[in-house]
A and B are shown apart, each in its own frame.
Chain A
Amino acid sequence: MRISSFFYTLKQGFRNLFRNKWFTLASIATISACLFLFGLFYAIVTNFAHIVKTAQEGVAVSVFFDDGLEESRMQEIGELILKRPEVSDVRFVSAEEAWESFKAEYLGDYADGFTENPLADSAHYEVYLNDVSMQSALVTYLESLDGVRMVNRSEIVATTLTGVNALIAYVSVGIIIILFAVSVFLISNTVMIGISVRKEEINIMKYIGATDFFVRSPFVIEGILIGLIGASIPLGVIYGMYNVVMDYVTTRFTMLSTLLSFLTVDEVFRVLIPVSLGIGVGIGFLGSVATVRRHLRV
């Protein structure tokens, strides 16, 4: 392709945006609507997932040792636990640390009456999981280890979090299917409008002897531009909305914001920007190729 032809094609792609203003607006609106829903859904789901993950990270299993167990065996047990794939962290809590923490949390000044550590046998490991649904399997394993007296866990928390995780997955799949169906419907309608607008122009090009590539290129450039604009608008809107909602939640519901940890706007948009732009460009590209394709066999 000559350089002049390349620039001509590029220019035509830009000009096409303004030639068929209604078609351009309809296409941008369609893509924006779909990607707005997608962005909104993504922001909510990732925050839910983040909250659940944070809660999971706080769920620990306590592993207590047999009386008088040697320190070397305790260390071995620690190493064995750390090797498990579902374990994210293992922390050793000595009997003294356990007593200090108990005093601080429950007794305060009343602890002065104790001369000896009543929790002398309470040295243990706190085991944190990266996948809370694996808790039962881990507990079974821990109980089978030599030198382990008792394993404490909170089954209700683990089951609840596993349930929430599954729910998020189901809801995500459901909403993605609905969004996909709506997008296909809206985009195919917009493409149909595009076909009727472009039919004559494509026919003329083909009669004069334009190659498929020459006919297609400006439309593809136009499609990509529509996709980019269509993706940028909802990104901007969601960015603004996200900041406003987070400000509102943290100022109005301070309790909620101390209990739950939300993602920052940057953390959400680190993924949302490339994904939305990619989807927008993809839709624009495929839509324009499909529009032109039907008329190329003239």
Chain B
Amino acid sequence: MAAKKRKKSTAAENEIINLTNVCKAYSTGAPALKDVNLRINRGEFVFIVGDSGSGKSTLIKLLLRELTITSGYINVMGYDLSKIKHRKIPKFRRNLGVVFQDFRLLKDRNVYENVAFAQRIIQKSNKEIKRNVPSILSVVGLAGKYKAKPRQLSGGEQQRVALARALVNQPTVLLADEPTGNLDPKNSWEIMKLLEQINENGTTVIVVTHNREIVNAMQKRVVTLKKGVIISDEEKGGYIDED
């Protein structure tokens, strides 16, 4: 009995994301997510897949607390996101790295400043910034391009900068929303390898993607959404065809 209890408590401690009976409906009344149950443990690598309109983006927005749920329960890294106060949201997001399909870099600042920006937000000292930024830029292979402006970089390089910015504060969870959506196959694979490497170092990685080849090749946990419902959740899954 005691062993069972201990096992249960260890499982709960290990759990980093918990969505229980989550529903999200937009003001138009259209349901985006219906009765979603999802648990992700610390250190996992999870793909969220599905066609357009399946609810992937809504799910990411709920995890980022950009949107609030309509009903159910959502807990990310110990924060109950249905009850979190507005002033606590910045602190919550500091443990959450995020990468977007369109990179979202500050166009008027160079690579170094884009990455340092994330450190300044958490009020790191200049000394720490000077140590951490070059170190993370070398991890993503951009140490030599720290002075370049985003427009001088290729899509793959811009996504690496975005990745460096997401990682420099050593987040517990990394959310990547279609990180390879604007990249060619070669750059897509390089980004995915980086994400895998980051995951091996202990960060929980959640990737929303359309990229069938990558999902099938990487053999990671795959959660498939269709019309707002989880239709499949496989440990070493692949991309499920609509047909």
Q: Is B183 an interface residue (CB 8 A)?
A: no
Task: Write the nearest CB–CB distance from B165 to chain A, whole angstroms.
Answer: 7
Q: Is A297 an interface residue (CB 8 A)?
A: yes
Determine if A208 and B123 form an interchain contact, defined as CB atoms under 8 angstroms apart: no
Q: Is A67 an interface residue (CB 8 A)?
A: no
Q: Is A1 an interface residue (CB 8 A)?
A: yes
Q: What residues on A are CB-neighbors of B120 within 8 Å? A: 5, 8
Determine if A208 and B165 form an interchain contact, defined as CB atoms under 8 angstroms apart: yes
How extensive is the interface on chain A, given as a class?
A: 20 to 34
Determine if B125 and A4 form an interchain contact, defined as CB atoms under 8 angstroms apart: yes
Give 24 A-B contacts (CB < 8 Å), ordered by A residue: A4-B126, A5-B120, A5-B123, A19-B108, A201-B106, A203-B104, A204-B104, A204-B106, A206-B90, A207-B104, A208-B93, A208-B94, A208-B117, A208-B118, A208-B121, A208-B165, A209-B90, A209-B91, A209-B96, A209-B118, A209-B122, A209-B169, A212-B87, A212-B90
Task: Scan residues 115-166 of chain B and give those whose CB is less than 8 A from a CB of chain A.
Answer: 117-118, 120-123, 125-126, 165
Residue among A8, A204, A211 facing the most chain B CB atoms (10 A cut-off): A204
Q: What residues on B are CB-neighbors of A208 within 8 Å? A: 93-94, 98, 117-118, 121, 165
Q: What residues on A are CB-neighbors of B214 within 8 Å? A: none
A4 to B120, CA, bound (A): 9
How extensive is the interface on chain B, given as a class?
A: 20 to 34
Q: Is A210 an interface residue (CB 8 A)?
A: yes
Q: What residues on B are CB-neighbors of A207 within 8 Å? A: 64, 66, 93, 98, 104
Q: What residues on A are CB-neighbors of B64 within 8 Å? A: 207
Determine if B121 and A209 form an interchain contact, defined as CB atoms under 8 angstroms apart: yes
Q: What residues on B are CB-neighbors of A297 within 8 Å? A: 86
Q: Is A137 an interface residue (CB 8 A)?
A: no
Q: Is A214 an interface residue (CB 8 A)?
A: yes
Residue among A2, A4, A209, A297 facing the most chain B CB atoms (10 A cut-off): A209
Q: What residues on B are CB-neighbors of A298 within 8 Å? A: 66
Q: Is A267 an interface residue (CB 8 A)?
A: no
Instruction: Write the chain B residue with the least CB distance to A205.
Output: B121
Q: What residues on A are CB-neighbors of B123 within 8 Å? A: 1-2, 5
Q: What residues on B are CB-neighbors of A2 within 8 Å? A: 123, 125
Instruction: Write the chain A residue with the least CB distance to B103.
Output: A204
A214 to B121, CA, bound (A): 7
Q: Is A89 an interface residue (CB 8 A)?
A: no
Instruction: Write the chain A residue with the least CB distance to B119.
Output: A208
Q: Which 6 A-B pairs rank lowest in CB-CB distance, beginning with the nearest?
A: A209-B93, A209-B94, A210-B121, A211-B90, A209-B90, A5-B123
Q: Is A97 an interface residue (CB 8 A)?
A: no
A298 to B66, CA, bound (A): 6
Q: Is A200 an interface residue (CB 8 A)?
A: yes
Instruction: Write the chain A residue with the least CB distance to B105.
Output: A204
A4 to B128, CA, bound (A): 11
Task: Write the nearest CB–CB distance from A177 to chain B, whole angstroms.
Answer: 38
Task: Scan residues 78-111 of chain B and give those whose CB is less than 8 A from a CB of chain A.
Answer: 86-87, 90-94, 96, 98, 104-106, 108
Report A207-233 CB contacts with B as 1/0, cut-off 8 Å: 111111010000000000000000000
Q: What residues on A are CB-neighbors of B126 within 8 Å? A: 4
Determine if A200 and B104 form an interchain contact, defined as CB atoms under 8 angstroms apart: yes
Report A187-208 CB contacts with B as 1/0, cut-off 8 Å: 0000000000000110111111
Instruction: Write the chain A residue with the least CB distance to B121.
Output: A210
